[in-house]
């Protein structure tokens, strides 16, 4: 975003969270949503598929990880705590404000 703002780039792809303050201030303009559906935060911005690239669908994720040798009991306790927090109404609302969702299903490897 720094290079875009400095004029060294003509276009950039970023997260909704990073873009929203710049969009609201008018410093950047949204051209497309890269997911397969429009964002509830930017309902007037078409998807990239709507603009002629139907096979394109991008989403990103952030994860919480631990070393592979972490005992299962510790992983389970962390998971229980994280799921409890992710289900709190205030957290759900905050995620929605950033056009995010918490993925609560996980698999032990």
What phi and psi, each to the nearest 5 degrees, are found at residue 104?
-100, -5
Please compute the mean of the pLDDT values over residues 51-70 and round it to a whole number: 86
pLDDT in tens, 21-38: 999 999 999 999 988 888
Split at pLDDT 50, 70, 90, the class of 105 is low
The H or E element containing residue 51 is none
Q: Global pTM? A: 0.63
HSE-CB of 109 using CA atoms within 13 angstroms: 6
CA 84 to centroid of chain Cα atoms: 20
């Amino acid at each position: 975003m720094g290079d875009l703002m400095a004029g060294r780039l003509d276009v950039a792809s970023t997260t909704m969270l990073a873009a929203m303050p710049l969009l609201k201030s008018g410093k950047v303009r949204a051209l497309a949503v890269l997911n397969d559906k429009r964002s509830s935060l930017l309902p007037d911005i078409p998807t990239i598929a709507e603009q002629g690239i139907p096979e394109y669908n991008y989403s990103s994720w952030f994860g919480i990880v631990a070393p592979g040798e972490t005992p299962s009991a510790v992983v389970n306790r962390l998971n229980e705590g994280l799921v409890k927090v992710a289900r709190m109404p205030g957290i759900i609302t905050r995620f929605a404000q950033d056009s995010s969702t918490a993925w609560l299903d996980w698999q032990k490897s």
